[in-house]
A = this chain, B = another copy of it.
Amino acid sequence: MHHPVTNKRGDIICSAVTNLDLHDIARAAKTYGVRRYFVVTPLVDQQALAQKILDHWTTGPGAAYNPDRKEALLLARVAASLDIAIDEAQRLCGQKPAVVVTDARQRPGAISYDDLTKLIKNGKPCILVFGTAWGLTEDFIEKADFVLEPLFGPGSYNHLPVRSAAAIILDRIAGQKR
């Protein structure tokens, strides 16, 4: 999600699309069995930029250069809003997905990784929402069906990039240990 998110001063902004986020999140999505990855921005020029990157790797020269990358980026779609993404997810899954917001702050009533994994295993489609920049707005978070537990290591530092947080959270939900 590139909007509505906040900047470091807390203003509501629309953040810029980051090329590497598209690649990294698509690759994690493909690794962990995600069915669709939506890049959500209301800005038409940013939508065009994101689509140009996706096209390069899925139908352009990048597709032959790196077929593994193509396979991952084929999961990605540009959407103007979360509602549009939810509608597409509903068509794909045959039922309305639960909106599960991720956030770096601890909140009362947050859903645990084990409970979210169970929910998904029981057949509930879920759309995991990741904010860019300084994170999703409070208004937006309050409207979600679930807020996921934040990630923690042994200390209190929790300033992970969105692409790393997405990879870790997908591994916590769908990672296998052999």
Please list the residues of chain A having a beta carbon within 8 angstroms of any beta carbon in chain B. 20, 23-24, 27-28, 30-33, 68-69, 71-72, 106, 112-114, 149, 151-155, 157-161, 163-165, 167-168, 170-172, 174-178
Which of B20, B28, B153, B167 meets A20, CB within 8 Å? B20
Cα of A174 to Cα of B72 in the assembled complex, Å:
28
The answer to whether B159 touches A174, judged by C-beta atoms less than 8 angstroms apart, is no
Which of B69, B159, B161, B171 meets A168, CB within 8 Å? B171
Query: A114 — nearest CB in chain B belongs to which residue?
Result: B177
The answer to whether B167 touches A160, judged by C-beta atoms less than 8 angstroms apart, is yes
Q: Tell me how many chains of this kind the complex includes.
A: 2
List 4 additional contacts besides A28-B164, A31-B157; criterion CB under 8 Å. Answer: A33-B153, A112-B177, A149-B178, A153-B170
Cα of A106 to Cα of B178 in the assembled complex, Å:
10
Leading 9 A-B pairs by shortest Cβ distance: A164-B167, A32-B153, A33-B154, A31-B153, A152-B176, A68-B159, A168-B171, A30-B157, A24-B161
The answer to whether B174 touches A151, judged by C-beta atoms less than 8 angstroms apart, is no
Query: A156 — nearest CB in chain B belongs to which residue?
Result: B31
Neighbouring B residues of A158 by C-beta, 8 Å: 31
Cα of A72 to Cα of B20 in the assembled complex, Å:
20
Neighbouring B residues of A175 by C-beta, 8 Å: 151-153, 168, 172
Q: A153-B174, A158-B31, A175-B152 are in contact. Are A163 and B69 (CB under 8 A)?
A: no
